[in-house]
Chains A and B, each alone.
Chain A
Amino acid sequence: MKNAIEIRKLTKDYKDIRAVDGLDLEIREGELFALLGVNGAGKTTTIKMLCCITSPTSGEATLEGKSIASEADEVKKIIAMSPQETAVARNLSVRENLMLMCGIHGFDTATSRQKTAQMIESFNLQKVADKKSSKLSGGWQRRLSIAMALVSDPKILFLDEPTLGLDVIARSELWDIIRDLKKRMTIILTTHYMEEAEELSDRIGVMKDGHLLMVGTAAELKEKTGEDKFENAFIKIVKGGAV
């Protein structure tokens, strides 16, 4: 299977801090790859560089063969991001938010209406479609946020802490949505929830202090650390006790 993302020696410095240090990574097409790490590990900076929001200090990354440094406009046409916090226009309804994203991606009105209707149906947003997004619960807002990211049919989707702060039911519903998206596109997921990474991901990368410490499936990481529980394996890797 070909690689959707290829990262070579990607580095980002902020004044005296090296947020990402020489990251090398390949993510396969159609794979759901989870980036794990404690706060300040460099996950968000990595995603910001891959999404062309932040320029790398050195190194290179290509997404579907397009360089984040020299082909940012092309990269932006094939990616979408659902940020960690609520990323919706507060005074616009669910339908208007979806129409807005269609317009921003350059779709004409007829196509925008069609895509919006399709997203409302796929994400079961019918009963809140004309409700102001600021009036929605956290779960509905995250659902809308992911739907907004998908209107452009991205080849690569970045999900930054998609279930942070949600209740068990809302989280389980979002997991179902993410499972449905698997294989249709490449997904890079960041999360603090170990069970989420274990449940949803094909492979997991553990970051600490800007370095990628270990990459593998959840089973491989448990095996390498000699732990039965994935959470213990993660702790062992981060604390430096891994083989």
Chain B
Amino acid sequence: MRRMLSFAGRTLKEMLRDQLTIFFGLGFPLVVLLLLSIIQANIPVDMFELHHLTPGITVFGLAFMSLFSGQLVAHDRGSAFITRLYTTPLKAHEFILGYTLPVLPLCLAQSAICYIVAMILGLKFSANILLAILMNLVPSLFFISVGLLCGSTMSEKQVGGICGALLTNLSAWLSGVWFDISMLGSAINAVANALPFVHAVELERAMVMGDFSAALPHLPWVLGYTVVFMALSVFMFLRQMKRQ
């Protein structure tokens, strides 16, 4: 436990001390929230109402956590630092937990800050918001697993491309955060519904509204993707560890 916690502490420090993590992880979702709120103030659009927009922004922000965790794993793999650690008594599950657990409080903090800013902008506080922040742990685990998976199989540069460009775009355009995806036609709508992003956003929206029955149909999608990607990321991490 002590070994894992020491390694997790290092992961947390590495991420918090990276200015890009802070800017994109916290700053960028807030900038988007502020910009869309300004648009909403001038041209009212239902989609941009804070109770509708903020849950989506919190899910969109989690995509950056994939990028940061993936880049850290890929950087470690590409450096001699991991070679050093592989000669220590640190075990495989302690590596995986040490890379995963510290990102969870960052995800929660990111969601909480988004809601706090939204409340400053006019979102009414309710206990449902606290539940919504907690519910974001499930998509957080999904995004962290994607990061671990990419970090275990790709170079740092490739992780930047896949998580930084592809994943953030998928979670921006196929999640229904800022427009109704049904407008994109039935084919894209079907693709979006087969992916977890739109379900994570709808789950979060339902939690904020306290409409738990509306949340239920989306939960299996998000949970299913999370379990599959967690299993895949653990498998690929162990495989690359063995290949060293």
Chain A interface (Cβ < 8 Å from any Cβ of B): 48, 51-54, 73, 76-77, 79-92, 96, 99-108, 145, 148-149, 152, 158
> Is B87 in contact with A86, judged by CB distance below 8 angstroms?
no
> Is B80 in contact with A84, judged by CB distance below 8 angstroms?
yes
Chain B 68-94, CB within 8 Å of chain A: the 1/0 string?
Answer: 000000000001110111111110000
In the A-B complex, the 5 residue pairs with the smallest Cβ-Cβ separation, listed nearest first, are A103-B6, A83-B80, A87-B80, A85-B80, A91-B17
Show 18 residue pairs from A and B whose CB-CB distance is below 8 angstroms, ordered by the A residue.
A53-B83, A73-B89, A81-B87, A83-B80, A85-B80, A87-B79, A87-B80, A91-B13, A92-B10, A92-B14, A96-B13, A99-B6, A103-B6, A103-B7, A104-B6, A104-B85, A105-B88, A106-B2
A80: chain B residues at CB < 8 Å are 87
A89-B81, A91-B18, A103-B9 known; A54-B89 Cβ under 8 A: no
A100: chain B residues at CB < 8 Å are 6-7, 9-10
B17: chain A residues at CB < 8 Å are 91
A99: chain B residues at CB < 8 Å are 6
> Is B3 in contact with A83, judged by CB distance below 8 angstroms?
no
CA distance A40 to B148 in the complex (A): 31
CA distance A73 to B84 in the complex (A): 15
> Is A87 in contact with B84, judged by CB distance below 8 angstroms?
yes
> Is B88 in contact with A104, judged by CB distance below 8 angstroms?
yes
CA distance A66 to B213 in the complex (A): 59
> Is B90 in contact with A104, judged by CB distance below 8 angstroms?
yes
CA distance A61 to B206 in the complex (A): 60
Chain B interface (Cβ < 8 Å from any Cβ of A): 2-3, 5-7, 9-10, 13-14, 17-18, 79-81, 83-90, 244
A51: chain B residues at CB < 8 Å are 86-87
A86: chain B residues at CB < 8 Å are 79-81
CA distance A79 to B150 in the complex (A): 31
CA distance A48 to B236 in the complex (A): 21
CA distance A73 to B6 in the complex (A): 19
A158: chain B residues at CB < 8 Å are 87
CA distance A101 to B18 in the complex (A): 21
Q: Which residue of A lies closest to B94 (CB)?
A: A104
B13: chain A residues at CB < 8 Å are 89, 91-92, 96
B10: chain A residues at CB < 8 Å are 89, 92, 96, 100
> Is B87 in contact with A104, judged by CB distance below 8 angstroms?
no
Give the shortest distance, in Å, between A111 (CB) and chain B (any CB): 11
Identify A83's interface contact among B18, B83, B89, CB under 8 A: B83
A85-B80, A87-B80, A103-B2 known; A53-B9 Cβ under 8 A: no
Give the shortest distance, in Å, between A210 (CB) and chain B (any CB): 19
A107: chain B residues at CB < 8 Å are 2
CA distance A82 to B17 in the complex (A): 25
> Is A106 in contact with B89, judged by CB distance below 8 angstroms?
yes
> Is A106 in contact with B3, judged by CB distance below 8 angstroms?
yes
> Is B89 in contact with A88, judged by CB distance below 8 angstroms?
no
B6: chain A residues at CB < 8 Å are 99-100, 102-104
A53-B244, A81-B84, A103-B6 known; A76-B79 Cβ under 8 A: no
A104: chain B residues at CB < 8 Å are 3, 6-7, 85, 88-90
B83: chain A residues at CB < 8 Å are 53, 81, 83, 87
A92-B14, A104-B6 known; A82-B89 Cβ under 8 A: no
CA distance A90 to B81 in the complex (A): 9
